[in-house]
Homo-oligomer: A and B are copies of this chain.
């Protein structure tokens, strides 16, 4: 198909397609004439993945290129998924897009040693196999530090009950990838589940909180903590 057809099929404007070609995110089509190229289904699919990663995942062009390169390697798919997983934007909104709230002494990813140790303890206690290079270790330590500044302190032990729930959630997440064999489709789905399912879970928690609040309010409550 010609670039115009590729644009129609993928919903991506021709200008953006040319940009992705120049940036090396999209492989060149098969040259048919001096200025013409023929594109295939793989280009449609690749464009969808690029859009998922950049528009919805919020990845930079450089990070997207890295993810795509990993997916293209014939080696294990897991490396690609890991690269992508680490490249995806973190859950804290102002992590990568620098929304920069009020800015009062925010230490972005300080990974204060005190809380890094708590995160390490938690990972150990859970028996989790997580690379030392995972950006989420530092991000979690930074979140815990921010909470401490607000007077709410969590130790590894406090977090274990929550970690058990997220481990269950991760099993459900990975089950969603079962049966998807094509690497590009798998990467796309993994990105969607990792990033875009996050608000779904957060909203389910908000709904659950209201229910739980109502249940507890309905119970007779005499004296503190009973």
Contacts and interface: CB of A to CB of B under 8 A. Distances in A.
A34 interface: no
Contact of A192 (B134, B147, B178): B147
A85 B163 CA distance: 24
Taking the full assembly, how many copies of this chain does it contain?
Answer: 2
B178 A225 contact: yes
A225 B170 contact: no
Contacts of A139: 199, 203
A1 interface: no
A166 B101 contact: no
Given A104-B55, A199-B91, A225-B179, A166 B204 contact: yes
Given A150-B192, A162-B169, A179-B224, A217 B92 contact: no
A35 interface: no
Contacts of A172: 161-162, 165
A206 B224 contact: no
Given A58-B101, A216-B174, A162 B200 contact: yes
A209 B86 CA distance: 11
